[in-house]
Homo-oligomer: A and B are copies of this chain.
Amino acid sequence: MMMERRKKFLLSESDIPTRWYNITAEMKNKPLPMIHPGTKEPIKAEDLFPIFSEELSRQEVNQTDAWIDIPEVVREKYKIYRPTPLVRATDLERALDTPARIYFKNESVSPVGSHKLNTALPQAYYNKIEGVTNLTTETGAGQWGTALAFAAKTFGIELAVYMVKISYEQKPYRRSLMQTWGAQVIASPSMSTKTGRKIITDTPNYQGSLGTAISEAIELAIQTPNCKYALGSVLNHVSLHQTVIGLEAEKQMEMAGVYPDVVIGCFGGGSNFSGISFPFLRHKIVGKNNCRFVAAEPASCPKLTRGEFKYDFGDESGHTPLIPMYTLGHKFAPANIHAGGLRYHGAGSIVSQLLKDELIEAVSVKQLESFEAGILFAQTEGIVPAPESTHAIAVAIREALKAKEEGTPKTILFNLSGHGLVDMSAYDQYLAGDLTDHEVSDEEIQKFLATK
């Protein structure tokens, strides 16, 4: 018989954070500002007003206030799924026979299946109270689109989602989810924008990319009255909202009586990694801990481990301001891996600065290793992880096996950003042996970095 012990560390609703943590206020080296591509001047909040909600624009450039109040109405909506559990992965530990203690923050319990709702709710809310009636956005694998669809419905806003064409076809359940929550979903490239029409004319069978979908969504927002655009990753205000993850996790690790030696998140544009990391990282900045922070990116889209730190556009057509980021070039076309949410050419400016300053680390994971980790996790802890999240699991497993090899205990914390229940076709292909690893050559990276 096993000893009685706690598996989950649960907080009550009154423990839902009342403020988000803005790490830029406490960073010694601030992230460089975004720059206007025409004037070359740093972007001010007002410059973003035509595209984004005004409050979100102010949050985007705020480098002075370390704490930003969460509106009570948003906190009320967070209660649908927050606080999320912190779980000790006891069965995974046993399977690995490791002296390491592995904990994960379970963001998959959100009704949309991922952490994306943490920022979708405040984004929809701020737009609503500013009188915006319509929003546009893009989605790759579909996690962000589903989250914003529910948030927009909640606050009574109409939403149009440009969904990368290959996902639109391969992930019909994500499309159905968005439609169930009342959103309009358009495969991108589409005939509804100038950008889309040009691409379809030039390259009739183009399967779409996140960069193209962003361009289409921004174009539609600009041309529609009372309409703004919303983005689910990369930007500072998105990372800000995601800090509820780490703020809760910090309290829960305290309940568990441990402190992490290493914190791990998968990495697309940076929002879930930022969310789990920043609240712990703030103590490292002032020298109060020596915790490691590891971003886990796919080997086929290695912006952090093999990209260049420079100013680049956030989208393919160059509609966005120039962002200081680790990038593979805004024209980079990643292989069609299943972790669609990680197929983005650049990293947010905060995370990029932190990596440059060696406050965080980055590693890459190949597709087959990530699915192998995902299956082991599903068979031990029960939850089928999203293909994105399997990258964090794979790195947690590497760390746990290293601890075993070295014979030293270690406390590992990773963020389970979402579940994979609507991505089962990916698991099907893995189990059938149909998946392969994709690596990018140095030549290819140099070619895209040089493309204007």
Contacts and interface: CB of A to CB of B under 8 A. Distances in A.
Contacts of A109: 109
B425 A176 contact: yes
A79 B109 CA distance: 15
Interface in A402-452: 421-422, 424-425, 427-428, 431
Nearest to A117: B382
Contact of A180 (B7, B179, B375, B422): B375
A182 interface: yes
How many chain A residues sit at the interface, stated as a range, is 35 or more
Nearest to A153: B379
Nearest to A173: B424
Nearest to A71: B1
A416 to B, nearest CB: 11
Nearest to A151: B382
Nearest to A182: B379
Contacts of A186: none
A81 B106 CA distance: 11
A80 B382 contact: yes
A380 B127 CA distance: 19
A439 B153 CA distance: 33
A180 B428 CA distance: 8
A177 B424 contact: yes
A177 B72 contact: no
Contacts of A2: 72-73, 76
A10 B7 contact: no
A421 B173 contact: yes
A6 interface: yes
B177 A384 contact: yes
A131 interface: no
Interface string A1-35: 11010111010110000000000000000000000
A111, A381, A431: residue with the most chain B Cβ atoms closer than 10 Å: A111
B13 A113 contact: no
Contacts of A153: 379
A267 interface: no
A378 interface: yes
Given A73-B2, A76-B2, A179 B431 contact: yes
B181 A379 contact: yes
A72 B382 contact: no
A112 B233 CA distance: 29
Given A6-B13, A72-B1, A384-B180, A113 B431 contact: no
A50 interface: no
A154 B113 CA distance: 23
A383 interface: yes
A249 B154 CA distance: 27
A150 interface: yes
Interface in A148-198: 150, 153-154, 172-173, 176-177, 179-182
A448 B307 CA distance: 69
Nearest to A420: B180
Nearest to A374: B180
B172 A424 contact: yes
Interface in A54-103: 72-73, 76, 79-81, 91
Contacts of A91: 154
Given A384-B111, A424-B173, A424-B177, A8 B1 contact: no
The list of the 9 closest CB pairs from A to B, nearest first, reads A111-B382, A7-B79, A176-B424, A173-B424, A111-B383, A176-B428, A421-B421, A80-B382, A180-B427
8 contacts: A6-B79, A150-B382, A172-B428, A176-B428, A179-B428, A180-B375, A180-B378, A181-B379
Given A173-B422, A176-B424, A176-B425, 17 more contacts: A2-B72, A4-B72, A7-B13, A7-B79, A7-B80, A8-B13, A10-B10, A111-B382, A154-B382, A172-B424, A173-B421, A176-B431, A177-B384, A177-B421, A180-B378, A180-B379, A421-B421
